[in-house]
């Protein structure tokens, strides 16, 4: 009798484990498929071939219009998203956790509506691509918050949110959009100043001598590229890292720390939380008074 009962319990346990494993597998497969479908949804909108040379007007007005209509709403979203996820990680209240997840979805949808307008950047392909990538990013962020079930532990919920496929893809497209925008500024700079190259070329390890010779727009575009490659999705902007990097060099701190190249230094700055929002504004007058810059608010606010 006891042997038969034990066998029944064992079979029940194995059956339950099989069900749970199957359910989790189905969930994560669904997340991956859903993320892929969202990415595919916008592919037909991208009329710019990867092999096409990026030529375009990249006028001052193009950059200003893009900043206000596209980049600023997304910049606000990025900062709010990071702030709310940090709040989620500190919470142990299931109701609050659920409310934060709901707010994140609403936030993404609201900013999507601000950005989702007919493209007016057909003469500046990189800006057109950036807008498309921001729309993809916001769509995926909205879906990410819907796919996560809030638990009592906010820290664990935040980890699940950050690691799911929707969020990973959303961050990738957001950072790519940022790179597109900063590359656009570089092209504008090349048209405005013959000493500025419109192309970065192959990203390589930069020593401090090479870095100091670079114009500010080239430095910012290089940092935006690094942020994409290293998945740095933070509230600060590329120019904030640039300014912190320059101060590290010119103050002598880089030498005292025996740092040799920009990439290693940027990694140190990011990992130690040394970069803050508006660091560029802090050192703008000291280091960048003669630099060529488009008249965009986040370079002067």
Q: 3-class secondary structure for 66-101?
A: HHHHHHHHHHHHHHHHHHHHHHHHHCCCHHHHHHHH
Check whether 23 has a pLDDT greater than 50. Answer: no
- pLDDT confidence bin for 13, thresholds 50/70/90: low
Q: For residue 188, give the DSSP letter.
A: H
Q: Which two tokens stand for residue 3?
A: 């042997």
Using a cut of 0.85, tell me whether the model's pTM lies above it.
no
- DSSP-based three-state secondary structure for 261: strand
Tens digits of residue pLDDT in 66-125: 999 999 999 999 999 999 999 999 998 989 999 999 999 999 999 999 997 766 788 899
**What's phi and psi for 9, nearest 5 deg?**
-65, -40
Band the pLDDT of 142: cuts 50, 70, 90: very high
Share of the chain above pLDDT 90, in %: 70
By 3-state DSSP, what share of the chain in percent is helix, strand and coil, each rounded to 5? Answer: 70, 0, 30
User: Which residue in 243, 248, 247, 242 sits closest to 225, CA to CA?
Assistant: 242
pLDDT in tens, 235-281: 999 999 999 999 999 999 999 999 999 999 999 999 999 999 999 99
Task: Retrieve residue 296's tokens.
Answer: 């965009």
Given this model, what pLDDT does residue 35 score? 52
- Tokens 């002598």 correspond to 252
CA dihedral 191, 195, 201, 207 (to 10 degrees): -150
Distance in angstroms (rounded) separating the CA atoms of residues 181 and 282 = 22
């Amino acid at each position: 009798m006891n042997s038969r009962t034990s066998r029944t319990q064992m079979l029940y346990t194995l059956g339950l484990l099989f069900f749970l494993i199957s359910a989790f597998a189905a969930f994560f497969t669904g997340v991956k498929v859903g993320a892929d479908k969202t990415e595919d949804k916008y592919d037909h909108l991208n009329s710019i071939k990867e092999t096409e040379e990026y030529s375009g007007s990249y006028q001052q007005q193009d950059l200003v219009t893009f900043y206000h209509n596209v980049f600023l709403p997304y910049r606000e979203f990025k900062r709010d998203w990071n702030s709310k996820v940090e709040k989620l990680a500190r919470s142990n209240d299931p109701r609050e956790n659920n409310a934060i997840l709901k707010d994140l979805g609403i936030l993404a949808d609201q900013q999507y509506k601000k950005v989702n307008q007919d493209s007016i950047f057909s003469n500046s392909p990189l800006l057109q691509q950036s807008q498309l990538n921001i729309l993809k990013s916001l769509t995926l962020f909205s879906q990410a918050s819907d796919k996560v079930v809030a638990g009592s532990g906010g820290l664990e919920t935040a980890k699940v949110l950050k690691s799911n496929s929707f969020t990973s893809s959303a961050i990738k497209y957001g950072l790519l959009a940022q790179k597109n925008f900063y590359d656009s500024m570089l092209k504008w700079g090349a048209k405005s100043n013959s000493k500025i190259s419109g192309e970065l070329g192959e990203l390589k390890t930069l020593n401090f001598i090479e870095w100091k010779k670079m114009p500010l727009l080239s430095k910012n575009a290089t940092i935006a590229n690094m942020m994409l490659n290293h998945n740095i999705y933070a509230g600060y902007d590329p120019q904030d890292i640039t300014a912190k990097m320059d101060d590290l060099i010119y103050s002598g701190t880089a030498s005292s720390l025996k740092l040799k190249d920009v990439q290693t230094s940027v990694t140190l700055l990011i990992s130690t939380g040394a970069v803050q929002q508006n660091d560029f504004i802090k050192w703008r007058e000291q280091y960048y008074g003669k630099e060529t810059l488009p008249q965009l608010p986040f370079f002067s606010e």
